Amino acid sequence: MNWKKYWDRIAINNPHNKISQVQRKDEESTLLTVNHITRILDITREDKVLDVCCGNGIITCEIAKKCNSIIGVDQSENLLKAAKIGAKELNIEYVNGSALKLSELLNGQKFDKIYMQFSFQYFDKKNQGNKVISELLKCLNPNGKIFIGDIPECNKFSEYYNTAMKKLRFYKERLLLKNEMGKFWKVTKIDAICKGFGVKGTYLKQPQECPYSYYRFDYLIEN
Ligand SMILES: C[S@@+](CC[C@H](N)C(=O)[O-])C[C@H]1O[C@@H](n2cnc3c(N)ncnc32)[C@H](O)[C@@H]1O
């Protein structure tokens, strides 16, 4: 799947609906996610924050109200165009490009808190998980924290594709390179990536009120 084309098309097909543009469930659960990220990263007014794969900025502009400044990075030009429409917060900057080239895109800037929400599944090709985590770490200040939220969990694959028909459809779409879900990650694989970089990685079970807690998990990285 070409994720850049995929998200550019979704943005075009949903010109007026901020929730559908990033395929979120609703406004209420989006605000719940904002509070969840703020709490886990302990975001304060002093923090310089980076939102990786920020989409149309629906979360970025809420986090902006709680921190010193924030940069949102996304490879979809169309979603970033949508992010800029009606944007009121003055402490946000948006940068277009792939998270796989983050440190180059941001000219070596460092951040106190970094998050990537609802997007880690798109790093589905060989070594991309490793590469993107190495890029996140390059952009992190000493004692900073990285939150990776809403990762589909390999062990919970059958809870998402919970009928034979759904599984069959998944395998067919995957063969045709049309699977829209991305990768279901093994926690042990992310643990191994963190170990390789010599940083602390912690699996976080999502609170039940998170809409996708039945098949997704969160992950915290500290250096
Ligand atoms: C489900 S949306 C999530 C948007 C936002 N984080 C949120 O939670 O509302 C996934 C986003 O990941 C972005 N994305 C996927 N692969 C990317 C990559 N390699 N670099 C930058 N952005 C990427 C897409 O363009 C899309 O905006």
Ligand 1 site residues (CB inside 6 A) read 3, 7, 22-24, 53-55, 58-59, 74-76, 79, 98-100, 117-119, 122
pLDDT of residue 87: 83
Rg (the chain; Cα; Å)? 17
Which pLDDT tens digit goes with each residue over 39-84?
A: 999 999 999 999 999 999 999 999 999 999 999 999 999 999 999 9
Of all protein residues, the one whose alpha carbon is nearest to atom 12 of ligand 1 is 53
pLDDT of residue 63: 97
Architecture of the domain defined by 3-151+189-222: 3-Layer(aba) Sandwich (3.40)
- The CA-atom distances, in angstroms, between 124 and each of 18, 93, 165 are 25, 27, 23
The region of weakest confidence among 58-62, 76-80, 93-97, 205-209 is 205-209
Share of the chain above pLDDT 90, in %: 94
Position 96, amino acid: N
- Residue of 210, 212, 205, 219 lying closest to 35 (CA atoms): 210
- Residue of 27, 70, 26 lying closest to 47 (CA atoms): 70
Helix (H) or strand (E) holding 69: strand 69-74
Average pLDDT, integer, range 121-134: 97
Cβ–Cβ < 8 Å for 222, 199: yes
Q: Is the pLDDT of residue 89 over 90?
A: no
- Residue of 108, 81, 111 lying closest to 94 (CA atoms): 81
Backbone angles phi, psi at 86, to 5 degrees: 75, 10
pLDDT of residue 90: 87
Q: pTM of the prediction?
A: 0.97
Q: How far is the CA of 54 from the centre of ligand 1 (A)?
A: 6
Q: Is the pLDDT of residue 222 over 90?
A: yes
User: Which residue of 50, 120, 122, 136 sits with most ligand 1 atoms within 8 Å of its CB, as the best mutation to test the pocket?
Assistant: 122
